[in-house]
Amino acid sequence: MSEVSLQPQQVRDAVRAALAEDLGLAGDITTNAIIVADVVGEAVIAARQPGVIAGLALAEAAFCELDADVRFKAMVTDGDAVQPGDIVARVAGKTRALLTAERVALNFLGHLSGVATFTRAYADAIAHTSARICCTRKTTPGLRAFEKYAVRCGGGMNHRFGLFDAVLIKDNHIAAAGGVSAAIEKARGAVGHLVKIEVEVDTLAQLDEVLRHPVDAILLDNMTPAQLREAAAIARAVNPRIILEASGGVTLETVRGIAETGVDLISSGALTHSVKTLDVGFDFQSETLF
Amino acid sequence: MSEVSLQPQQVRDAVRAALAEDLGLAGDITTNAIIVADVVGEAVIAARQPGVIAGLALAEAAFCELDADVRFKAMVTDGDAVQPGDIVARVAGKTRALLTAERVALNFLGHLSGVATFTRAYADAIAHTSARICCTRKTTPGLRAFEKYAVRCGGGMNHRFGLFDAVLIKDNHIAAAGGVSAAIEKARGAVGHLVKIEVEVDTLAQLDEVLRHPVDAILLDNMTPAQLREAAAIARAVNPRIILEASGGVTLETVRGIAETGVDLISSGALTHSVKTLDVGFDFQSETLF
Amino acid sequence: MSEVSLQPQQVRDAVRAALAEDLGLAGDITTNAIIVADVVGEAVIAARQPGVIAGLALAEAAFCELDADVRFKAMVTDGDAVQPGDIVARVAGKTRALLTAERVALNFLGHLSGVATFTRAYADAIAHTSARICCTRKTTPGLRAFEKYAVRCGGGMNHRFGLFDAVLIKDNHIAAAGGVSAAIEKARGAVGHLVKIEVEVDTLAQLDEVLRHPVDAILLDNMTPAQLREAAAIARAVNPRIILEASGGVTLETVRGIAETGVDLISSGALTHSVKTLDVGFDFQSETLF
Amino acid sequence: MSEVSLQPQQVRDAVRAALAEDLGLAGDITTNAIIVADVVGEAVIAARQPGVIAGLALAEAAFCELDADVRFKAMVTDGDAVQPGDIVARVAGKTRALLTAERVALNFLGHLSGVATFTRAYADAIAHTSARICCTRKTTPGLRAFEKYAVRCGGGMNHRFGLFDAVLIKDNHIAAAGGVSAAIEKARGAVGHLVKIEVEVDTLAQLDEVLRHPVDAILLDNMTPAQLREAAAIARAVNPRIILEASGGVTLETVRGIAETGVDLISSGALTHSVKTLDVGFDFQSETLF
Amino acid sequence: MSEVSLQPQQVRDAVRAALAEDLGLAGDITTNAIIVADVVGEAVIAARQPGVIAGLALAEAAFCELDADVRFKAMVTDGDAVQPGDIVARVAGKTRALLTAERVALNFLGHLSGVATFTRAYADAIAHTSARICCTRKTTPGLRAFEKYAVRCGGGMNHRFGLFDAVLIKDNHIAAAGGVSAAIEKARGAVGHLVKIEVEVDTLAQLDEVLRHPVDAILLDNMTPAQLREAAAIARAVNPRIILEASGGVTLETVRGIAETGVDLISSGALTHSVKTLDVGFDFQSETLF
Amino acid sequence: MSEVSLQPQQVRDAVRAALAEDLGLAGDITTNAIIVADVVGEAVIAARQPGVIAGLALAEAAFCELDADVRFKAMVTDGDAVQPGDIVARVAGKTRALLTAERVALNFLGHLSGVATFTRAYADAIAHTSARICCTRKTTPGLRAFEKYAVRCGGGMNHRFGLFDAVLIKDNHIAAAGGVSAAIEKARGAVGHLVKIEVEVDTLAQLDEVLRHPVDAILLDNMTPAQLREAAAIARAVNPRIILEASGGVTLETVRGIAETGVDLISSGALTHSVKTLDVGFDFQSETLF
């Protein structure tokens, strides 16, 4: 996972916004009233559930933003699997900074690790096939870059980032253009040479029509495994290099069957729109840890 | 629900940020390539699952941001329950605006309706008691105000908004202060007269100690229903007006038993940190709707 | 005063905005034309009037923003009283940074020390009573967090920070709700359990009515000391723990008489809306100071 | 005063920031709990003290920001003098918007009218002379453009806006440059042809030296009226078109004597750094006003 | 050209930033001093050179930002060719708004029309071939989206928008990866299925190696027309659908020869990094125009 | 050139915006996929054309923003002339940071060096006269401060920065005011004492009229050298200290003739609105350089 990375500015901006949301104008009135400014302390961040970690850079930044001298020592790497009790990171610095940033750090870490953990479950279920699990644009507003990063940490692939970086032609576009052919031609004429074109189809009849045109990928929506298998056979016969994506009805129960149909990608909005946080605890301690 | 409301600037800023995230610099290259700029159309937003709606203002703003002349007609109000097939809103305007804003509108609406739906399930389960379900600071970074609004739409109560608007003294604060008494006194001396103080306790022994001091609320963490019942009896005997909050191990299965112990509030991070989106569909149509 | 503190990000943002206001696009054209870039120098910030200092962190940040290597050595702490001639801080670094940031640093320091000084005068005048002086929402737009901090440095208390962190029911709310009782009930039902409710009353008749309801605090507006004394007696008889706040007609001449009536708090908008800057000088020097 | 104006974007940005400061994430929890969303109402803004009004555009924007349909009818113009009881503006719209924006509107209006009122007092005191009162860079951080506008509303002149739009050479610059002559030459060589140069002098000896160089204005700092008179005579003899500014020790008592010395401008930081708010009331009413 | 479009928020933000840059805190002090606030007027924007127009939406927004009631009537569409004297737009509204926004409007319009005009010259020169002219990432910082839009208005194609939306493997990447094959595999494994991969080659030997791998496009850098022709023949023989891009030494003199070699695209940084503004005049008039 | 400088915050903000534009949400997907995170490398920035360098601080900031430990060693200073092959800067740090920031760094450096180079050509052409070349407000939106800085690096002077820092009265202002005299009086009465006034004239008749009023500078627009010579003689006779600026038809061919007419300044929009980038290369290297 070591090559996956977030931009520093992106991390800083997101953490600052989250801290501002939690601190308001008046700050942590409990901690500031009770904890003396110069006291230092240490804490351990540990997993309370099995899962896959993602978002360590955001957790670290939350503490450092409040105390530039905080030492944050990650004991695992984003993408690593953890078991209950596993130490994820140790953090030492001003006690005020530790207690005040704790919730923001855990909110990011828990949410993104939740995404990675869910993704990993899908990825493991289809590891015996050549299919890959992949996210969608059904992300939490404001967190897309981080959630797509967490999907990669979990072993998934990223679909397009937004409306701007690839063409995905759906039924409304086709209807408005007056047919698949016109829609594809219009798109091809308007976008740059490094933009790929994918077309969504619901039926084998639509698939046949799309295959008459030069497209890069086809999204097979809401088909049964049997239909997917047939669609894959038809498509590969016409264009062996076409990319086939399946979507609709994807669950941990169904994903294996879908993957075995021979599609390249299986996309699921649930990876990012229905996230269960990974339970990660923050244990403040008095002994020196590192 | 009619009194619950969001600030217009808050809605606009969140929607603009989400659109920027989805549109990037180049915009919706598919729609712009295929749909002629002046064409208008209409769409229906309908529930595909039973649930409680929240976030209509954000959905409306997403469309209006791209076409100031969009007409958005909500058929339900935030806080209303819907059944599969129920029409949530009708929207008419430039086809480009409708198709481009669709995902941002649904991402907000699905997420917040998910929060409201989950909250309503808890609220219904304890409706026969005087206890109320309530959220925490375990919210999605950047969406706290909206998620807390959705909790209210679902019939829940809001805990403090952040670290700035109430004092919540936890074990680390007590340890650092050298005891409950010192912690409470320090807090009371530092904060304004309109700030309430709540103290978290894990045991009945701690409860006894806290009850010797003038606090507004006590958070009973990780206690069994039997312990909660005993704690409530002890606390009410000392201070009949004290507010008692239970937290820890709260699920749809356990919440009824907790509520029947006599606590005032039951707080659950899951309301906002483990949200399952409410499935809401967007059906573009050619007929005129309104 | 050591527990009172400002958030680092808050300080940085305010100082950057103030520098941008003073520097525009072209910067300090006088200093840049005349002072060579690498020359270093030193300066002393000294009080020219007796007063109470507040805002050192903002002054420091102003210099550091322009030269990260500036050494700023505060000789007093926020909340300390100073006499004319007392050295407040010494600062050494690039001469350009010192001369360019001087005015922004002093504008913050003078204004906030003015708030602290004014507050201290009130606080001293009522130090023999249990009453405390407290600020309002009548603050300078954009500076509320800093002015409320300065009030604390001066020995005052903070009222609510904004419209968001406590309920204050005034006559217009009562009229709109159709009575005190309805207004209080509506508020209590809508806000979280950690939000306090204060009600403003102008007459003893209104006070009687409010005392029938469970509220946390009562604002006694524009009453004479005699009326305040009577009001306090009535209120304490009904609810010994109720918080009583007096407002209206508060001056350095009247505040002692008001404080002796037994109220808990005396609020005055003048602490922040009619501030006289504390005269603090900036003396650039050639000798090395530290 | 009709030609003085503020930029719309400037007004909008300042008002939005001030509202955000007052509303936080949760908004006006009192008003939202008690006042039904659709109820409309009216209010009168009236002077409670004699003074000069400034900042009507900011007050109007505060209400409009929360309810785009608010009707705000100014009964006076910025720069007009008012007496106690004079109606400054009438405002009608959603009751929630009126009550929620009231404080932000009045904070701006009171502060800026305070600046205008104070300035007018100075301007009136020297109206029999050709001297003009003028502000400095000693402004409230974040409000410079508005305070300088208010100074103009009060009949004063604006000094340079910031460090960027004119050269003002002070003793530290002269010392660093190795003399007045070198400092002026360096400045003249570095700045554009539309930038004026003013030099500060404390003594008649310094004045003599400066007058040997082509400068646009001279700031005579901390001189007695007698010294100012002599300085003016000397300077006018050398350069009849030179602009002479006096500063230091300017109060309402001393300003007349200073103005009668023949200087062109008298600058005073107190116009903006020691502002007493103008008391302006907000009376919510049930009758229809316009 | 009618399908090419800019996002409204993008236009508004860019225009507001440009106005802020030109207006500073004090605004248009000349116009505000001389022109009465309510006076209205009209103006004509006309071409003074032959060229291609781009950026009308930005010009319109500049005027509307200062006077929401401005009527702006474009007489041509972005992408239209104009001759000297052709009227580009008519604008009527507050005279102050017209004179104050003029420069910002023309700075955008002139610059972007310059890009479109330059692009059109290239496009015309190669119109007899199937090759298309295309831009690069060598854009003016802050204006990329607008410049890429102007390239499309001029008849050019867009290369990738940034580092985020396509893979372009250069020599440094290949060296770091230890060969073309490794670099392509790493990229293919890391990016989503809708991301294209282009590889830059300088020699026919490199071309041979790249053609052994599945890539979407090849950038032939700094080759002579003869080399390009040979490269195209080789590449087409291996992969008839590969996209071939030529770059390096592209001028209006050389572009025809390059286009005739059979490449698909010719990219030139000069389209956006060496722009000659299109001379567009603003003639203020007293007669009513529309 | 050592006294010319940019503000650090200005540089940081511009570079961050440019990086955000190039990196989007997903970052440099090519480099991140292929280059291992911890690998370090070095590169040389070298001139490929003769020219004058400007913008080194922006180039440095681009690399440092992505890797705080980057060492950037400028081998020349802004304002220095370079020949093809001259090394401008050496940079060492994380390879990812070097490759990702390269384009942003060069886009700034090339553009601003282009401005400086063009300015230097004009400055050299008129070096034998006392006239100076000077820029206008015809700058690239968003880059004004940097382009005006580059003009100074090239040996040119800056005209006013924006509409806010000097008065320039044009024909439309004069017409609206009802004559030159009224326009000048209105302006003089409205602006501060440190604001200069320049008036634009097209004819000798207009010049005569303007000279009857006290103005600081006169802009002689679109006059032939012969007319300029006559205008200068007339103006100097009336007011020997008046500043005379010529504009219109300024090219490298005509500028010498214009300069020899005796005007003080020659302004040209082309310095900033029709910039040819200076070709500066970035050569990544494996050997250690410093």
Q: What is the CATH number of the domain that holds E24?
A: 3.90.1170.20
**Residues D130 and D214 grouped into a single domain:** yes
Gap from E111 CA to chain C (nearest CA, Å): 22
pLDDT for D4 equals 66
**Binding-site residues on chain F for chain B (CB distance < 8 A):** 21, 24-25
DSSP annotation of D198 reads E
pLDDT band at B177 (very low <50, low <70, confident <90, very high): confident
Q: Report, as an integer, the average pLDDT of A67-76.
A: 97
Checking if the pLDDT of B4 tops 90, the result is no
State the DSSP string of F154-189.
TT-B---SSTTSSEEE-HHHHHHHTSHHHHHHHHHH
* Nearest Cα residue in chain F from C19: F9
The per-residue pLDDT of chain B, averaged, comes to: 95
**Residues C187 and C104 grouped into a single domain:** no
Q: Is residue D28 part of a domain?
A: yes
Instruction: Give which of A25, A63, A64, A94 to mutate to test C binding, by max C Cβ within 10 Å.
Output: A25
Q: Using CB atoms, which chains have 3+ pairs under 8 A with F? A: A, B, C, D, E
**How crowded is the C-beta side of C229, counted as CA atoms within 13 Å?**
7
Gap from D159 CA to chain F (nearest CA, Å): 5
- Partners of E24 on chain C (C-beta within 8 Å) are 24-25
Q: Which of D12, D137, D170, D186 is catalytic?
A: D170
Q: Is the dihedral of CA F260, F261, F265, F267 positive or negative?
A: negative
- Partners of A161 on chain F (C-beta within 8 Å) are 24-26
> Does C25 contact E21 at a Cβ distance shorter than 8 Å?
yes
pLDDT for E226 equals 97
- Give me the domain span that covers residue B192: 124-273
> CA F235 to CA F217: how far, in whole Å?
10
Across B108-122, E94-108, F1-15, F26-40, least confident range: F1-15
pLDDT band at A148 (very low <50, low <70, confident <90, very high): very high
> Does B183 contact A143 at a Cβ distance shorter than 8 Å?
no
pLDDT band at A89 (very low <50, low <70, confident <90, very high): very high
- Residue with tokens 């039951």, as numbered in its chain: B266
pLDDT for F286 equals 64
CB D288 within 8 A of CB D42: yes
3 state SS for A221-269: ECCCHHHHHHHHHHHHHHCCCCEEEEECCCCCCCHHHHHCCCCCEEECC
- Partners of B21 on chain F (C-beta within 8 Å) are 25
Checking if the pLDDT of B287 tops 60, the result is no
pLDDT band at C177 (very low <50, low <70, confident <90, very high): confident
Q: Is residue B232 part of a domain?
A: yes
> Does C164 contact B165 at a Cβ distance shorter than 8 Å?
yes
For helices A180-190 and A204-211, what crossing angle results, to 10°?
Answer: 50
> Does E27 contact F163 at a Cβ distance shorter than 8 Å?
yes
Residue-wise pLDDT for E140-184, tens only, equals 999 999 999 999 999 999 999 999 999 999 988 998 888 899 999
Gap from F40 CA to chain B (nearest CA, Å): 31
Q: Is residue C105 part of a domain?
A: yes
State the DSSP string of C138-159.
---TT-HHHHHHHHHHTT-B--
Gap from D32 CA to chain F (nearest CA, Å): 37
Instruction: Give which of F1, F2, F3, F77 to mutate to test C binding, by max C Cβ within 10 Å.
Output: F3
Gap from C164 CA to chain E (nearest CA, Å): 30
> CA A278 to CA E23: how far, in whole Å?
50
Instruction: Give which of A2, A7, A147, A196 to mutate to test F binding, by max F Cβ within 10 Å.
Output: A7
Residue-wise pLDDT for F158-184, tens only, equals 999 999 999 999 998 998 888 899 999
Q: Report, as an integer, the average pLDDT of B2-10.
A: 78
pLDDT for B153 equals 97
Checking if the pLDDT of A4 tops 80, the result is no
Q: Is the dihedral of CA F160, F164, F167, F169 positive or negative?
A: positive
Q: Percentage of chain F with pLDDT > 70?
A: 97
> CA D213 to CA D183: how far, in whole Å?
10
* Residue at F160: amino acid letter: R
- Partners of C8 on chain A (C-beta within 8 Å) are 65-66
> CA A140 to CA A162: how far, in whole Å?
13
Checking if the pLDDT of D200 tops 80, the result is yes
From the list F2, F7, F144, the residue facing C23 with the nearest CB is F7
Q: Percentage of chain D with pLDDT > 70?
A: 97
Q: Taking Cα atoms as reference points, which of E242, E236, E238, E239 lies closest to residue E219?
A: E242
> Does F29 contact E143 at a Cβ distance shorter than 8 Å?
no
> Does D141 contact C190 at a Cβ distance shorter than 8 Å?
no
* Nearest Cα residue in chain B from C265: B193
Checking if the pLDDT of E267 tops 60, the result is yes
Checking if the pLDDT of F83 tops 50, the result is yes
**Residues E258 and E193 grouped into a single domain:** yes
**Residues F136 and F12 grouped into a single domain:** no
Tokens describing residue D117 = 């009122």
Phi-psi region of A48 (alpha: psi -120 to 50; beta: other; left: phi over 0): alpha
Q: Is residue B1 part of a domain?
A: no
State the DSSP string of B14-82.
HHHHHHHHHHTTT--HHHHHHS-TT-EEEEEEEESS-EE---HHHHHHHHHHH-TT-EEEESS-TT-EE
Does residue C38 or residue A273 have the better pLDDT?
A273
> Does C192 contact B217 at a Cβ distance shorter than 8 Å?
no
Checking if the pLDDT of F285 tops 80, the result is yes
The pairing of strands E132-134 and E265-267 is parallel
> CA E163 to CA A183: how far, in whole Å?
27
**Residues E93 and E205 grouped into a single domain:** no
> How many beta carbons lie within 10 A of that of residue E252, not counting itself?
13
> Does C217 contact B194 at a Cβ distance shorter than 8 Å?
yes
- Partners of B24 on chain A (C-beta within 8 Å) are 161-165
> Does C3 contact A37 at a Cβ distance shorter than 8 Å?
yes
Q: Taking Cα atoms as reference points, which of E191, E221, E163 lies closest to residue F101?
A: E163
- Residue with tokens 């229905």, as numbered in its chain: A274
Q: Report, as an integer, the average pLDDT of C249-277.
A: 97
Q: Is residue B289 part of a domain?
A: no
pTM for this predicted structure: 0.96
> CA C110 to CA F271: how far, in whole Å?
44
Q: Taking Cα atoms as reference points, which of C126, C145, C119, C153 lies closest to residue C275?
A: C119
Checking if the pLDDT of D43 tops 60, the result is yes
Checking if the pLDDT of F289 tops 60, the result is no
> Does F194 contact D196 at a Cβ distance shorter than 8 Å?
yes
Gap from E35 CA to chain F (nearest CA, Å): 6
* Nearest Cα residue in chain E from C21: E25
DSSP annotation of B277 reads P
**Residues D158 and D209 grouped into a single domain:** yes
Domain count along chain B? 2
pLDDT band at C1 (very low <50, low <70, confident <90, very high): very low
Q: Which of D60, D221, D245, D264 is catalytic?
A: D221
- Residue with tokens 């954000």, as numbered in its chain: B58
State the DSSP string of D31-56.
HHHHS-TT-EEEEEEEESS-EE---H
**Residues D71 and D136 grouped into a single domain:** no
- Partners of D172 on chain C (C-beta within 8 Å) are 95, 99, 284
C-alpha C51 chain-centroid distance: 14
Residue-wise pLDDT for E58-104, tens only, equals 999 999 999 999 999 999 999 999 999 999 999 999 999 999 999 99
Q: Using CB atoms, which chains have 3+ pairs under 8 A with B? A: A, C, D, E, F
pLDDT for E86 equals 98
Residue-wise pLDDT for A194-208, tens only, equals 999 999 999 999 999
Q: Report, as an integer, the average pLDDT of F238-262.
A: 97
- Partners of B18 on chain A (C-beta within 8 Å) are 141-142
The per-residue pLDDT of chain D, averaged, comes to: 95
We report the CATH number of the domain holding residue D265 as: 3.20.20.70
> Does B36 contact E7 at a Cβ distance shorter than 8 Å?
no
Q: Report, as an integer, the average pLDDT of A161-186.
A: 92
CA torsion angle for E129, E131, E132, E135 (degrees, to 10)?
A: -140
How many residue contacts between D and E have a Cβ separation below 8 Å? 33
The CA distances from residue B146 to A147, B8, B92, D24, D141, in Å, are: 19, 12, 25, 13, 32
**Residues A216 and A133 grouped into a single domain:** yes
> CA A201 to CA A196: how far, in whole Å?
17
**Residues F163 and F103 grouped into a single domain:** no
Across B164-173, C171-180, D250-259, least confident range: C171-180
* Nearest Cα residue in chain F from D7: F164
**Residues A17 and A29 grouped into a single domain:** yes
Q: Residue D89: phi, psi to the nearest 5?
A: -160, 155
> Does A196 contact E198 at a Cβ distance shorter than 8 Å?
no
> CA A149 to CA A144: how far, in whole Å?
8
Q: Using CB atoms, which chains have 3+ pairs under 8 A with C? A: A, B, D, E, F
pLDDT band at E285 (very low <50, low <70, confident <90, very high): confident
Assess whether D170 carries a catalytic annotation: yes
pLDDT for E3 equals 56
**Residues B91 and B142 grouped into a single domain:** no
Tokens describing residue E87 = 């009227």
**Residues C267 and C280 grouped into a single domain:** no
Query: Which alpha helices (DSSP H) does C126-216 contain, by range?
Result: 144-153, 171-177, 180-190, 204-211
Tokens describing residue B290 = 């309104």
pLDDT for E1 equals 41
Does residue C37 or residue A131 have the better pLDDT?
A131
> Does E5 contact B27 at a Cβ distance shorter than 8 Å?
yes
Q: Is the dihedral of CA C252, C254, C260, C263 positive or negative?
A: negative
pLDDT for F4 equals 65
pLDDT for A175 equals 85
> Which residues of B are annotated as catalytic?
103, 138, 170, 200, 221
Q: Is residue A290 part of a domain?
A: no
Q: Is residue C145 part of a domain?
A: yes
Phi-psi region of F179 (alpha: psi -120 to 50; beta: other; left: phi over 0): left
Q: Using CB atoms, which chains have 3+ pairs under 8 A with D? A: A, B, C, E, F
* Residue at B224: amino acid letter: T
Q: Report, as an integer, the average pLDDT of F72-90.
A: 98
* Nearest Cα residue in chain E from B28: E7
pLDDT for A5 equals 80
Residue-wise pLDDT for A72-81, tens only, equals 999 999 999 9
The per-residue pLDDT of chain C, averaged, comes to: 95
> Does C167 contact D95 at a Cβ distance shorter than 8 Å?
no
* Residue at A61: amino acid letter: A
Instruction: Give which of C13, C21, C25 to mutate to test F binding, by max F Cβ within 10 Å.
Output: C25
Q: Is residue C164 part of a domain?
A: yes
From the list C29, C144, C274, the residue facing D195 with the nearest CB is C29
Q: Report, as an integer, the average pLDDT of D119-128.
A: 98
* Nearest Cα residue in chain F from D153: F190
